[in-house]
A and B are shown apart, each in its own frame.
Chain A
């Protein structure tokens, strides 16, 4: 699984949006003024300026009654156009979906991912063409049929027409999404329940931990029950129904275990993520671990049996510690350079809990001083001094949060000022018992409120309070991970170790993912209706589809081109390289011709920059990865950007739609 997202900063995003929209509107006004000048001469720009207040005025006089009437009309029109036929397709897909999906994986934990991905993908791709075509063809068809005249001749405003259209299509789309979402949820639940024929769960029976192993095959049902210190009891029956009739008590027990197993497969885990850094074999901090040659660079590795460590710093941990402690869940990847001494043993790893003090220093003028320049004062053991600009000054220590620190050039520095080295002092270390990893699976470690460990220095067993002794004054806990097998490597990424809070409901996580699909379709409606205000149906559809295609599939490529990461230069340079068979790594000759080519490419690149910033990044709406991998959809990394993007496009689209419709010659078919 790979989920690489950054928290969404609403304020920063709003600032960027405001800047982009202003720039866009200014460009629009300049363009319109230029065009107007060509037709109306010097008066042109003035005419454009006179048009500007019309939109806000129109918006202020918006009538919800009229908007609702147009929305209703749009909704009915969409129904008339047989938009609901998509339900038939959906039903067909789900009736026969299990043909395609049944039993490609015998392991339920893998199969569940397929079910969830299938449902969310099916809903998205079934609705996308419907919504796209409806929203792009609505207005142009009305103009062509002249049925729009019946609306525009009435006292309806252009903004009302546009908003009404958007609202009408969105209502229809919402109904479709809700029906499909609920059906999909029921389908997933039933498929998982039906196919869960093998499970092994530990449940509490009268205060005693009991392992229930259940296998349901063609030949019959076998149940093995193992309670503490008691021999395993094996019961066989010809079928589940027979088991219920013959042994109701045991059946009830298996049902309890079954519900627990279902809950384990259909789950929305809520992780608290930490910041990750590494410690190299030389004991110095490192930005990344060892590269083992894996072409997927999501994870980076630590070498086993050496000083390499992966370090996670978890913030605000005090509030997360429950009565019975803290759950750490990890999912690391093993890379072996040899099969190991015991070929049946998985790699061994160890967690150490470390209390660290993370500090920066400030002088009397509140200037931050790098820790490398700081030393203890000769006069006072608890005071510090530093040499700044050749002068000795007294400095004071201030705590700094883990999120404000990163590793650069083998030292911890402030993110805000990479020149300032941060002092990190280890105060207490508690190494926990080692354990074997279950690769690509769940590894859960319970950190009890009282941590008992073997202290190598004193050679004694010690006990420390998790919160009292190991969490530092900023409420942070550091977890160091070591691989104990020499010659082996352990791969990890930031999300591979997290504090697991009590899991949320799968239904809620699923609903959030459906909400993501809904917002994406909503954005398509907005873009489609806007495009249809100034383009004919087919062209508007094409434009919206291209925006979807670029925003969904080509955004990473576009980012690479704009960021100059693609080898071989821009379009013209690439063509020349292909024709002249010049390798992409070869430098081009330095002459006027190639300089001109590069100049033109630079200009074209600016065009792509604009495209990249105009086209919405549809990747933000893809939340199926979270749900399929058993995680809740996080607010800050997934929901907030989706909402932000949808709202961000609404305002400029309304402006463009209003003026386009105002300027469009409605008599023209």
Chain B
């Protein structure tokens, strides 16, 4: 039985309310003037000073998103699930209009859930794009994927992962897809390699861009790999500031801005663009690879750090000594890290490509193939042989390259072209061609596969 009178009870309640207000005040006091505010306000401070939890610190504040979340009264998880189920159905039934708007609704409800941005951006660029038959439509959806994630970076401006994903779509998706030649022409019609291409065959096919570039993705009119490099660099900068990425090992993640430059040079060669400009680009790429990426420090997980460019034994010894570990340990880890990112290959490749001899060899092989396609067989054969001679010279200077797929395939392709020309000219087979030793070495592994592709393209049994 309660012995307190009604008035006494009210007083007790009032005191209890006052007591409860104290922790609320301590926790929730807002920041003002010189005062840092309560515990929660401290936690929400701008990024770098504390956890950066407040909405405006994470990225763009979207009133629509906030309104939706308020209206749903904490049921947004359920709503997102339902929307996602709708989305799957819409994609299955190829209802592209609603696919796009449903993704918008999902991200509106959970704008800081990074996986959603990553998944849907990737899905549009890789899966939805593949559903379309016209290459212009495919290009449109690839861009949609990149733009979608770019929108995600507005809401999550400290995410290295989202920037990495944009770089991946612009770089790898556009640069490695079967349609890469077309996509690159669409992406940057101003590229030097397209100077001779008619206006109506290059530039963004969207009528809004009038054959120019899509300003949202490529405002500086760069090649796709160099545009991707910007995003990869932002990702690296954020990662460097302490915003973690959870995609891959750190030394793999941080290589991409440097790799973009290498890939771009490689693709320029594949497009038949050679000369001093590309040689200069390779030299710059080599410098960046060695002096930039090669000097970055990475944790080994064994209590010490390494960088990938250690030119001499003295550097290994110095690195080991400075961290109090054995030289052998350092060497093992450096080797292992280098193997993962194919560090030495790219170093040698960029070094060799920045030499005029290599560029000349590539040019001869490329032009030889072009002549072959135009049925100028004798001239083509001479150029191909000269190209292979040049490549032989490069390989004898940079022996590391002889084990690398791209170089080997280029040489074998050249040999196949010569053999095909001999067959068409009804010449007897010859075994005094340059790099015949390489052919014999790969007779049972690479040659059959490559020959199959060759026959598909140029005919033959």
Contact = CB atoms under 8 A, between A and B. Distances in A.
A222 B179 contact: no
Given A339-B178, A439-B132, A105 B97 contact: yes
A1 B101 CA distance: 16
A114 interface: yes
A623 B285 CA distance: 59
A100 B108 contact: yes
Measured as residues with beta carbon below 8 angstroms from the partner, the interface class of chain A is: 35 or more
A111 B135 contact: no
A476 interface: no
Contacts of A339: 178-179
Contacts, number: 72
A295 B131 CA distance: 13
A96 B108 CA distance: 14
B210 A113 contact: no
B313 interface: no
Contact of A346 (B67, B93, B133, B140): B133
Contacts of B101: 100-101, 104-105, 114
A594 interface: no
A574 interface: no
Interface string B70-113: 00000000000000000000001111111011011100100000
Contact of B178 (A99, A110, A343): A343
A440 B207 CA distance: 19
B96 A437 contact: no
B44 to A, nearest CB: 26
A222 B140 CA distance: 22
Nearest to B134: A346
Nearest to B96: A110
Contacts of A347: 133
B96 A440 contact: yes
Contacts of A105: 97, 100-101
Nearest to A343: B179
A96 B64 contact: yes
Contacts of A215: 207-208, 210
Measured as residues with beta carbon below 8 angstroms from the partner, the interface class of chain B is: 20 to 34
A200 B96 CA distance: 22
Interface in A205-243: 213, 215, 217, 222
Contacts of B178: 339, 343
B213 to A, nearest CB: 13
B135 A343 contact: yes
B137 interface: yes
B91 to A, nearest CB: 9
A298 interface: yes
Contacts of B96: 110, 440
A344 B93 contact: no
Nearest to B101: A104
Interface of A: 1-2, 96, 99-101, 104-107, 110-111, 113-114, 117, 197-198, 200, 213, 215, 217, 222, 295-296, 298, 333-334, 336, 339, 343-344, 346-347, 437-440
22 contacts: A1-B95, A100-B64, A100-B104, A100-B108, A101-B101, A104-B100, A104-B101, A104-B103, A106-B206, A111-B97, A113-B98, A114-B98, A200-B207, A215-B207, A222-B210, A296-B94, A333-B94, A346-B133, A438-B134, A439-B132, A439-B133, A439-B134
* 5 pairs of A and B residues whose beta carbons are closest in the complex: A334-B133, A110-B97, A113-B97, A439-B133, A104-B104
Interface of B: 64, 67, 92-98, 100-101, 103-105, 108, 132-135, 137, 140, 144, 178-179, 181-182, 206-208, 210
Given A105-B101, A296-B94, A439-B132, 15 more contacts: A100-B101, A100-B104, A100-B105, A105-B97, A106-B144, A106-B206, A114-B98, A117-B98, A215-B207, A215-B208, A296-B93, A336-B133, A339-B178, A343-B182, A347-B133
